[in-house]
């Protein structure tokens, strides 16, 4: 929360819960962001994101949205959004903050011009709890006149990408976040290629499902291993496909489950069972 | 657009069901609150559009007009399934 304030952004969380349930949640968890109540799913419907895979008589689940996040600029224009098919995985705050700030401020000053292609790979975040996605970020610096390929790429050429090792069980990669490519038409055969030039940042959200964790005396951790691939070319010729491997060891944990019990003697408690019962009976009425 | 529900997964044991990405939960993939869309699904207004107006109650029962309330600040708007369950 202080991080969002520092970034100058206002955080809102909207759900189909009643206002009093949200009030109990705020009290129990000490949250300070604004929680919006949409008990008849009117806002959710107006956005067109009502979960249409749940039948309208399937109480009390009917009415939930496909969960996701919108980021706007100070004019209220959407600059980025985060949606994945699996509700189990949600974007970590680092990604949301990076979207609020704009990616470029995360780039350090580079010596310019560079004389050869260089790639830096980072994992953004200090842990990888189950179901929270964080990003692997690959930053390319390309010398003047050189480019690497983006998607779609013709057969035989290699597009710049971040890939996880296939043998790492329990790690899941999500939708890559890539900048717009420039279309370059070859003078020879008229083929059009999608390319990146200059400084390019590719991002791959990754999450773990609980089976990637190893436990030792230092606690639970995951190993995030893979490679960045690319092929650099200039207007005359293409180099061979190249790759740079990475392996990040990151602390890991299970995530906290929702408090559905009576929560007696426990702090915090948000009377989850009471609100659930109320929600069910209201929807059956 | 007809949205298909993702029911891929396996039963691992009593109250232990994994989904297609290997996440384990007490409900089978595709049942009740564990209903994910398979393939393409709508994600609302697009990047570059103005965030639609939202006027609704906050946790105190106060009516909030989001665009007025944000007071010229950028917004992080999270749509979540429920704060209760």
Whether B33 is covered by a domain: the verdict is yes
Same domain, A190 and A164: yes
Q: CA-CA-CA-CA torsion for A11, A16, A21, A24, nearest 10 degrees? A: -20
Determine whether the interchain pair B77/A8 forms a contact, defined as Cβ–Cβ distance below 8 Å: no
Q: Name beta bridge partners: A224.
A: A248
- Measured on CA atoms in the order A179, A180, A185, A190, is the torsion positive or negative? positive
Report the distance separating Cα A27 and Cα A50, nearest Å.
28
Same domain, A133 and A230: yes
Same domain, A7 and A142: no
DSSP A69-117: EEEE-TTSBEEEEEE-S-TT-EE-HHHHHHHHH-GGGGSPP--SS-SS-
Measuring CA to CA, how many Å separate A276 from each of A215, A283, B84?
Answer: 36, 11, 6
Whether A75 is covered by a domain: the verdict is no
| CATH number of A190's domain | 2.60.40.1250
Specify the length of chain B in residues.
85
Whether B29 is covered by a domain: the verdict is yes
pLDDT confidence tier of residue A283, bands split at 50, 70 and 90: confident
pLDDT tens for A73-106 read: 999 999 999 999 999 899 988 889 989 988 654 5
Determine whether the interchain pair B59/A83 forms a contact, defined as Cβ–Cβ distance below 8 Å: no
Same domain, A133 and A197: yes
**Cα angle for residues A16, A256, A66 (degrees, 5° grid):** 35
Same domain, A45 and A158: no
Same domain, A116 and A199: yes
Q: Is the peptide bond before A152 cis (omega within 30 degrees of 0)?
A: yes
Average pLDDT over residues A3-23: 92
Average pLDDT over residues B8-20: 92
Whether A79 is covered by a domain: the verdict is no
Determine whether the interchain pair A9/B85 forms a contact, defined as Cβ–Cβ distance below 8 Å: no
Whether B79 is covered by a domain: the verdict is no
pLDDT > 80? residue A48: yes
Determine whether the interchain pair B78/A11 forms a contact, defined as Cβ–Cβ distance below 8 Å: yes
Same domain, A10 and A127: no
Whether A154 is covered by a domain: the verdict is yes
Which of A5, A25, A34, A179 should one mutate to test binding to chain B, selecting the residue with the greatest count of B CBs within 10 A? A34
Chain A residues with CB under 8 Å of B65 CB are none
Instruction: Kindly give the pairing relationship between strand A214-216 and strand A147-149.
Output: unpaired
SS3 state at A29: helix
Q: Please state the ipTM of this predicted complex.
A: 0.95
Same domain, A240 and A273: no
Whether B25 is covered by a domain: the verdict is yes
pLDDT tens for B38-77 read: 999 999 999 999 999 999 999 999 999 999 999 999 999 9
Lowest-confidence segment of A105-114, A154-163, A208-217, A269-278 by average pLDDT: A105-114
**Does residue A45 sit at the B interface (CB-CB below 8 Å)?**
no
Whether B80 is covered by a domain: the verdict is no
pLDDT confidence tier of residue B18, bands split at 50, 70 and 90: very high
Same domain, A218 and A121: yes
Whether A221 is covered by a domain: the verdict is yes
Q: Which residue of B has its CA nearest to A25?
A: B83
Burial letters for A115-146: b for 16+ Cβ neighbours within 10 Å, e otherwise?
A: eebebbbebbbeebbbbbbbbbbbbbbbbeeb
Find all residues with CB under 8 Å of A260, minimum gap 6, and list them.
A272, A273, A276, B85
Q: Which residue of B has its CA nearest to A257?
A: B85
pLDDT tens for A50-75 read: 999 998 888 889 999 999 999 999 99
Same domain, A247 and A109: yes
> Domain of B12?
4-69
Same domain, A42 and A145: no
Find all residues with CB under 8 Å of A241, minimum gap 6, and list them.
A158, A229, A230, A231
> Domain of A171?
105-253
Report the number of distinct structural domains present in chain A.
Answer: 2
Whether A96 is covered by a domain: the verdict is no
Same domain, A278 and A215: no
Q: Which residues, numbered 6 to 45 in chain B, qualify as contacts with chain A under a Cβ-Cβ cut-off of 8 Å?
A: 6, 18-25, 30, 32-39, 41-45
| B41 compared with B84, residue with greater pLDDT | B41
| Residue located via tokens 């006149």 | A145
Whether A100 is covered by a domain: the verdict is no
Whether A51 is covered by a domain: the verdict is yes
- Which residue among B25, B36, B79 places its CB closest to the CB of A65? B79
pLDDT tens for A121-145 read: 999 998 999 999 999 999 999 999 9
Chain A residues with CB under 8 Å of B49 CB are 77-78
Report the number of distinct structural domains present in chain B.
Answer: 1
The alpha-carbon gap from A42 to the nearest alpha carbon of chain B, in Å, equals 9
Q: How far apart are the first and last CA of chain B?
A: 28
Whether B55 is covered by a domain: the verdict is yes
Whether A272 is covered by a domain: the verdict is yes
């Amino acid at each position: 929360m202080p991080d969002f304030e520092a970034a100058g952004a206002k955080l809102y969380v909207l759900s189909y819960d009643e206002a009093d349930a949200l009030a109990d949640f705020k009290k129990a968890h000490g949250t300070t962001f604004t929680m919006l109540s949409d008990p008849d799913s009117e806002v959710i419907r107006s956005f067109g994101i009502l979960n249409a895979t749940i039948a309208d008589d399937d109480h009390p689940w009917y009415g939930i949205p496909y969960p996701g996040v919108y980021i706007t600029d100070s004019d209220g224009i959407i600059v980025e959004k985060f949606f994945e098919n699996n509700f189990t995985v949600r974007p970590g705050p680092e990604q949301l903050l990076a979207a609020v700030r704009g990616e470029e401020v995360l780039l350090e000053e580079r010596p310019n011009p560079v004389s050869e292609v260089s790639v830096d790979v980072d994992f953004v975040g200090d842990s990888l709890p189950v179901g929270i996605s964080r990003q692997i970020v690959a930053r390319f610096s390309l010398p003047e006149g050189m480019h690497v390929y983006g998607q779609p790429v013709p057969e035989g050429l290699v597009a710049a990408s971040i890939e996880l090792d296939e043998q790492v069980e329990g790690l899941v990669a999500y939708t890559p976040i890539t900048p717009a490519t420039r279309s370059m038409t070859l003078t020879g055969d008229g083929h059009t290629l999608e390319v990146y030039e200059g400084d390019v940042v590719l991002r791959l959200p990754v999450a773990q499902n609980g089976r990637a964790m190893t436990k030792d005396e230092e606690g639970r951790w995951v190993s995030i291993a893979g490679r960045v691939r690319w092929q650099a070319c200039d207007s005359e010729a293409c180099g061979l496909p190249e790759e740079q491997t990475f392996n990040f060891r990151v602390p890991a944990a299970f995530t906290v489950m929702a408090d559905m019990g009576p929560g007696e003697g426990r702090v915090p408690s948000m009377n989850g069972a009471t609100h659930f019962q109320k929600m069910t009976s209201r929807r059956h009425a | 657009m007809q949205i298909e529900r993702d029911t891929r997964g396996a039963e691992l044991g009593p109250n232990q069901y994994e989904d297609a990405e290997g996440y384990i939960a007490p409900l089978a993939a595709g049942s009740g609150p564990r209903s994910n869309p398979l393939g393409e699904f709508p994600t609302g207004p697009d990047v570059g559009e103005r965030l639609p107006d939202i006027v609704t109650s906050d946790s105190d029962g106060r009516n909030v007009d989001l665009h007025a309330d944000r007071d010229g600040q950028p917004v992080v708007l999270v749509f979540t399934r429920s704060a209760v369950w």
